[in-house]
Amino acid sequence: MPLYDYICRACGKEFEILMIGTRKAVCPACGSEDLAKQMSTFAHRTAGGSGGPGSGPGCGGCTSSNCSSCH
C-alpha cells in the first residue's frame, strides 16, 4: 500500500496518507479533494545489509545498530 504526500490547494495543509484500495485522498484539515501530490522519498535496504546509507543493521535512515528512533 503506497504512502503519498500531498498539499491541499484549498487550505495549504501538508500531509501524507496511506492509500488503501480505491480510496480518494481528502485533506484531513478541511476535507477538500483539491490536492497536489508531492514528490516522496523512500528508504531502500539491500539484502545482506550493504549498499550505502540506510542499508546498515539499524533503521532505514541510519546505520546504527541501536538507533533509538527506530526501535
Question: Do 58 and 64 touch, CB atoms closer than 8 A?
Answer: yes
What does the pLDDT profile of the chain (71 residues) look like in tens digits? Answer: 678 899 999 999 999 988 888 888 999 999 999 999 998 766 555 665 554 444 444 455 555 555 555 54
Rounded to an integer, what distance in angstroms lies between the CA atom of residue 29 and that of residue 4? 16
pLDDT at residue number 40: 72
pTM above the 0.85 mark? no
Q: What is the pLDDT of residue 26?
A: 94
Q: Are 62 and 71 in contact (CB under 8 A)?
A: no
Residue 34 has a CB neighbour count (10 Å cut-off) of 11
Under 8 Å between Cβ of 6 and 33: no
Question: Which amino acid, 26?
Answer: V
Residue 24 grid cell: 480518494
* Residue-level pLDDT at 8: 97
